[in-house]
Amino acid sequence: MEKREGKRRIVLVSPPAQGHMTPMMQLGKALSLKGFSITVVQGEFNQVSSSSNHSSGFQFITIPESLPESEVERLGVIEFLMKLNKTSEASFKDCIAQLLLQQGNDIACIVYDELMYFCEAAAKEFNLPSIIFSTTTATHKVCCSVLSKLNAKKFLIDMEDPEVQDKVVKNLHPLKYKDLPASGVGPLEPYFKFCREIVNKRTASAVIINTVSCLENSSLSWLQQELGIPVYPLGPLHILASTYSSLLQEDRSCIGWLNKQKPRSVIYISIGSVAQMQTKEFLEMVCGLSNSNQPFLWVIRPGSISGSEWIESFPEEVSKIVSEKGYIVKWAPQIEVLGHPAVGGFWSHCGWNSTLESIVEGVPMICMPFIGEQKLNAKYIESVWRIGIQLEGKVERGQVEKAVKRLIVGEVEKLKASVRSGGSSHKALDDLVKYLNVE
């Protein structure tokens, strides 16, 4: 990367989604603690508020919304993101031009989420270095890279063969076809095109990933070789530099409820900020949980049950069962919940942030993946890291806990050590800072 001594501003760009914004703010905090000024550029929808962010000193700039968020439903997520990348280019260029004009040429780098690849056009135009930030696993990037080289039509024919589903994909062991992020995303042609956009590194000079080398050593080496640019695994970012950037109001009353439960007795259930379950799945879960006699803390996000605003629209019986055996919130202080001594298991959709948060707290997982890379994470949780089970058929939580506890303890220590002095992520952050040429 070109020497940019004395340039200490980092511009951050994230998609307006909780699972992407949270790690981006954590990365911003980690870099601000190393002496950089941080500018967050965001659209109007789902903004990280400057007041709610604990990272004081961040500058927040709003650029005009180039594509209404309501278009997601009409276009589908993949088409929406591709269109957003086209329509955002001009406003982001204007924003960078303004920044350079007002604040002088002090931008050390633009760090953008891999989904926001429109940032490259501005980086190129103003001759600014850029770095890609990935909020999923290194293995997901490897998958995108392998998939982007396949023929979508042939792949689709293969995928339709039920026998293929259980076969291990060449070059992606232990992933089977059914674990691939491409399965169940809708039309494959646009998805493969999108993968190609994501893996095309353009002029970015490095990649930062919210992962830990002890979890993904071989995928990280593969990526490093494939991309030919430095790859910095800085995770788990929530322990490297924790921030508060919740878009929804956290209901802290659940902590009082947890305080009254026995140690390791509660199942915490959350499907993250985006996934939606069908009414039938929800009702099955209600019955299953009720029969299990296990106390549970359940995050039922408004809109997370397809076709219903929230649980008020269900027969009273349902809310009664749910509130008799468990505790319901619309949004929880998840990291604190996972660290609570009463929590013994995490029934999760396997989003990458939730997975890292659970591993760090040593909570075994029951995996119920919905979309995209969640299936891939679930496969790794069950078969590679052996810290949970995939939900297939009936759930026997006690068995899960016994089977995984011993293995989890080892992982917890490794992950916590990774962000301490001398640990792999701590070292990767120092290397990144040196790379940015300010030390």
Q: Contact residues for ligand UDP (CB under 6 A)?
A: 18-19, 22, 246, 270, 272-275, 299, 331-332, 334-335, 351-354, 357
- Nearer to ligand UDP among residue 272 and residue 295 (C-beta): 272
| Amino acid type, 75 | L
What gap in Å lies between CA 325 and CA 384, rounded to an integer?
33
Considering only CA atoms, which of 274, 244, 252, 247 is closest in space to residue 332?
A: 252
Enumerate the H helices of 326-423 as residue ranges: 334-338, 352-361, 374-379, 397-418
What gap in Å lies between CA 264 and CA 242, rounded to an integer?
25
- Nearer to ligand UDP among residue 128 and residue 305 (C-beta): 305
79: Cβ contacts below 8 Å, ≥ 6 apart: 190
Shortest Cβ distance from residue 396 to ligand UDP (Å)?
24
> CB nearest ligand UDP: which residue?
19
Identify whether the C-beta of residue 47 lies closer than 8 Å to the C-beta of residue 31: no
Shortest Cβ distance from residue 376 to ligand UDP (Å)?
13
Shortest Cβ distance from residue 21 to ligand UDP (Å)?
9
**How would you class 229 by CB atoms within 10 Å of its CB: exposed for 0-12, middle for 13-18, buried for 19 or more?**
middle
Shortest Cβ distance from residue 245 to ligand UDP (Å)?
9
Which tokens sit at 218?
Answer: 């071989």
- Nearer to ligand UDP among residue 42 and residue 353 (C-beta): 353
Shortest Cβ distance from residue 262 to ligand UDP (Å)?
22
Query: Half-sphere exposure of residue 211, counting CA atoms within 13 Å on the CB side?
Result: 27
Which tokens sit at 430?
Answer: 């120092």
Shortest Cβ distance from residue 161 to ligand UDP (Å)?
30
- Nearer to ligand UDP among residue 96 and residue 305 (C-beta): 305
Identify whether the C-beta of residue 336 lies closer than 8 Å to the C-beta of residue 361: no
- Nearer to ligand UDP among residue 18 and residue 294 (C-beta): 18
In this structure, the chain runs to a length of 439
- Nearer to ligand UDP among residue 122 and residue 198 (C-beta): 198
- Nearer to ligand UDP among residue 77 and residue 95 (C-beta): 77
Enclosing H/E stretch for 194: helix 188-199
Considering only CA atoms, which of 439, 437, 438, 431 is closest in space to residue 207?
A: 431
Shortest Cβ distance from residue 163 to ligand UDP (Å)?
31
Q: With both helix axes pointing from N to C terminus, report the angle between 213-227 and 138-148 in degrees, rounded to the nearest 10.
A: 30
Shortest Cβ distance from residue 104 to ligand UDP (Å)?
35
Shortest Cβ distance from residue 354 to ligand UDP (Å)?
3
What gap in Å lies between CA 116 and CA 14, rounded to an integer?
7
- Nearer to ligand UDP among residue 88 and residue 334 (C-beta): 334
- Nearer to ligand UDP among residue 334 and residue 425 (C-beta): 334
- Nearer to ligand UDP among residue 19 and residue 190 (C-beta): 19
- Nearer to ligand UDP among residue 134 and residue 353 (C-beta): 353
- Nearer to ligand UDP among residue 274 and residue 360 (C-beta): 274
What gap in Å lies between CA 211 and CA 137, rounded to an integer?
6
What gap in Å lies between CA 145 and CA 207, rounded to an integer?
14
Instruction: Please report, for residues 11, 282, 311, 341, 348, the alpha-carbon distance to residue 278 in angstroms, rounded to integers and kept in the order given.
Output: 39, 6, 13, 31, 16
DSSP 382: I
Identify whether the C-beta of residue 339 lies closer than 8 Å to the C-beta of residue 254: no
Instruction: Please report, for residues 173, 208, 422, the alpha-carbon distance to residue 71 in angstroms, rounded to integers and kept in the order given.
Output: 37, 30, 46
Shortest Cβ distance from residue 91 to ligand UDP (Å)?
25
Shortest Cβ distance from residue 322 to ligand UDP (Å)?
16
Shortest Cβ distance from residue 272 to ligand UDP (Å)?
3
Identify whether the C-beta of residue 383 lies closer than 8 Å to the C-beta of residue 191: no
